[in-house]
């Protein structure tokens, strides 16, 4: 009924208008703090993904309308479609994982060359 046709006059959601690789530049001395923030964000997103994976959507009134609503709600949350909430969260989780790996690699490089004095990272030989 209403859900099948877009909810009675609602506009279908548009796709995100961004694409391509994004670059984040961080001052070397800020790497430890950024790494901590990205790890915290990853852990929080991971908890949401786990919760959403286990979400069960019942047919509230056990009638055709609530059955349709439950089916559509499931598809939009954890149904696995490209625009479902779970797919978006997993994509974000993967971006966070890659950012963490990049920051860890950068941190390891600075630790090898400049030691543990984070305040001095990237500031040697700059006159």
Q: How far apart are CA 92 and CA 35, in angstroms?
A: 16
Which comes out higher in pLDDT, residue 21 or 53? 53
- pLDDT range class, residue 54, cuts 50, 70, 90: confident
Closest CA to 29 of 110, 87, 113: 110
Q: What is the pLDDT of residue 126?
A: 52
Q: Do the beta carbons of residue 107 and residue 35 sit within 8 Å?
A: yes
Is the Cβ–Cβ distance between 100 and 106 less than 8 Å? no
3 state SS of 82? coil
């Amino acid at each position: 009924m209403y859900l099948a046709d877009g909810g009675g006059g609602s506009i279908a959601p548009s796709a995100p208008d961004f694409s391509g690789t994004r670059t984040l530049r961080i001052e070397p001395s800020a790497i430890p703090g950024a790494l901590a923030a990205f790890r915290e964000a990853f852990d929080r997103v991971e908890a949401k993904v786990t919760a959403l994976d286990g979400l069960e959507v019942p047919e509230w009134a056990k009638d055709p309308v609530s059955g349709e609503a439950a089916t559509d709600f499931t598809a939009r949350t954890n149904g696995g479609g490209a625009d479902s909430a779970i797919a978006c969260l997993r994509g974000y989780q993967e971006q966070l994982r890659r950012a963490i790996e990049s920051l860890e690699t950068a941190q390891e490089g600075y630790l090898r060359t400049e030691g543990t004095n984070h305040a001095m990272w990237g500031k040697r030989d700059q006159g």
